[in-house]
């Protein structure tokens, strides 16, 4: 396994491999960049096939956090931790404490948070051994509502730019995934007068969306080809790909999901197809802004102001993409790179 030649290595400042014999902890903490402030990013616990897969995830996700924090105007850098193991069978209080001690040794260069496979209760456990954790009980809690609020603000910016409309009233929005964020998003959109089509693989979640928001339910594959005003991916990554892109009939793609597309390949293809893409890490930063409030100690009004800035940031990206005839994802990366020192 190589690090410096790894395809996902992008000038990371520090990568820490942490082991604890007593608890079986095997963790990787990747600190991509701290030029704006301490690196904040979740701790993911996942049964990775091997260390190479775990390293790849840590490198990729920590880099993404640098860009997300910079675009949200937060005095934070990008980091991410991964614990190799199955959260259902391998997790213990002692293991989370051992991880917390590894975080503590980094002296606030890295601040951890909840992610896939970790919970608020785990953050509470980590908090017993280090201060460098957010998302604990009584703190930010579940950031999904803030994420959805930010996505809704971003959707309006995209609609204004692409459709020349200042309201979501009567728009047809296709939402993929009505889980934590998707459900809050449906609520915001429904209240704004949008007509919803939704899909999910969870029957109960679909029934709730049907009942609460009058949403029309469509099949998981059908959502891509729907004739609608906007497609909001709120489930998995990589949903705009070689197979789905040619069938998209929407003029806008804007949702909460991370890593919606391979920017290098599909950003330009979306632009050629006349589809406006709201870059994922810009539009879905609401949750990060929420937890950053606790890491950096700013008040709720400041958080609200930062959340509403998603509108202005996206509007700037869309305008620059048009002026330079470039994919929005490229423009977002370029603006983010102006905001941290590499």
What positions carry a catalytic annotation?
Answer: 80
Min dist CB 200 to ligand NAD, Å, is 4
Stretch that binds ligand NAD, among 90-98, 129-137, 194-202, 299-307 (CB under 6 A): 194-202
Residues 6+ apart with CB under 8 A from 325: 271
Window 136 to 165, contacts with ligand NAD (CB under 6 A): 143-144, 147
Nearer to ligand NAD (CB atom), residue 18 or residue 284: 284
CA 221/CA 124 separation, integer angstroms = 39
Among 74, 126, 194, 205, which residue interacts with ligand NAD (rule: CB under 6 A)?
A: 205
Question: Is the CB of residue 275 less than 8 Å from the CB of residue 248?
Answer: yes
Q: Binding of ligand NAD at residue 293 (CB under 6 A)?
A: no
CA 266/CA 262 separation, integer angstroms = 6
Among 38, 85, 287, 327, which residue interacts with ligand NAD (rule: CB under 6 A)?
A: 287
- Which positions from 168 to 187 touch ligand NAD by CB under 6 A, shown as an x/- string? --------xxxxxxx-----
Min dist CB 154 to ligand NAD, Å, is 12
CA 117/CA 2 separation, integer angstroms = 26
**Residue of 45, 29, 33 lying closest to 89 (CA atoms):** 45
CA 122/CA 112 separation, integer angstroms = 11
Q: Binding of ligand NAD at residue 57 (CB under 6 A)?
A: no
CA 136/CA 124 separation, integer angstroms = 5
Among 125, 130, 197, 256, which residue interacts with ligand NAD (rule: CB under 6 A)?
A: 256
Nearer to ligand NAD (CB atom), residue 146 or residue 328: 146
Give the CB-nearest residue to ligand NAD: 179
Nearer to ligand NAD (CB atom), residue 40 or residue 98: 40
Window 209 to 238, contacts with ligand NAD (CB under 6 A): 220, 234-237
Burial class (CB within 10 angstroms; exposed 0-12, middle 13-18, buried 19+) of 278: buried
Q: Binding of ligand NAD at residue 241 (CB under 6 A)?
A: no
**267: which DSSP letter?**
I
CA 332/CA 291 separation, integer angstroms = 22
Residues in contact with ligand NAD, total (CB under 6 A)? 25
Among 62, 66, 284, 328, which residue interacts with ligand NAD (rule: CB under 6 A)?
A: 284
Q: Binding of ligand NAD at residue 31 (CB under 6 A)?
A: no
Cite the beta strand spans of 200-332 per DSSP E: 216-217, 230-233, 252-253, 276-277
CA distances from 312 to 144, 158, 170, 174, 333 (A): 21, 11, 24, 24, 16
DSSP 3-state of 274: coil
**266: which DSSP letter?**
I
Q: Which residues bind ligand NAD (CB under 6 A)?
A: 143-144, 147, 176-182, 199-202, 205, 220, 234-237, 256-258, 284, 287
């Amino acid at each position: 396994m190589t690090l410096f030649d790894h395809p996902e290595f992008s000038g990371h400042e520090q990568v820490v491999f942490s082991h604890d014999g007593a608890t079986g902890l095997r963790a990787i903490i990747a600190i991509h960049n701290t030029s704006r402030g301490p690196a904040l990013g979740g701790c993911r616990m996942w049964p990775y096939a091997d260390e190479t897969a775990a390293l790849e995830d840590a490198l990729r996700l920590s880099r993404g956090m640098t860009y997300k924090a910079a675009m949200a105007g937060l005095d934070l850098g990008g980091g991410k931790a991964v614990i190799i193991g199955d959260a259902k069978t391998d997790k213990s209080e002692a293991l989370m404490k051992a991880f917390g001690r590894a975080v503590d040794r980094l002296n606030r260069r890295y601040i951890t948070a909840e992610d896939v496979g970790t919970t608020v209760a785990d953050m509470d456990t980590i908090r017993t051994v280090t201060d460098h954790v957010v998302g604990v009980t009584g703190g930010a809690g579940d950031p999904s509502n803030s994420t959805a609020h930010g996505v809704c603000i971003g959707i309006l910016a995209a609609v204004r730019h692409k459709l020349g409309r200042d309201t979501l009233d009567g728009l047809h929005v296709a939402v993929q995934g009505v889980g934590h964020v998707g459900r809050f998003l449906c609520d915001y959109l429904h209240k704004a007068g949008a007509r919803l089509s939704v899909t999910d693989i969870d029957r109960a979640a679909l029934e709730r969306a049907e009942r609460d928001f009058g949403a029309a339910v469509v099949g998981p594959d059908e959502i891509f080809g729907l004739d609608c005003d906007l497609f909001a991916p709120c489930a998995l990554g990589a949903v705009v790909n070689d197979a789905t892109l040619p069938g998209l009939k929407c003029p806008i793609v804007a949702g909460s999901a991370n890593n919606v597309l391979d920017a290098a390949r599909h950003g330009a293809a979306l632009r050629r197809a006349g589809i406006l893409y709201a870059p994922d890490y810009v539009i879905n930063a609401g949750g990060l802004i929420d937890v950053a409030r606790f890491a950096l100690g700013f008040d709720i009004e400041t958080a609200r102001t930062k959340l509403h800035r998603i509108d202005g940031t996206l509007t700037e990206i869309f305008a620059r993409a048009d002026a330079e005839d470039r994919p929005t994802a490229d423009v977002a990366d370029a603006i983010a790179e102006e905001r941290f020192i590499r």
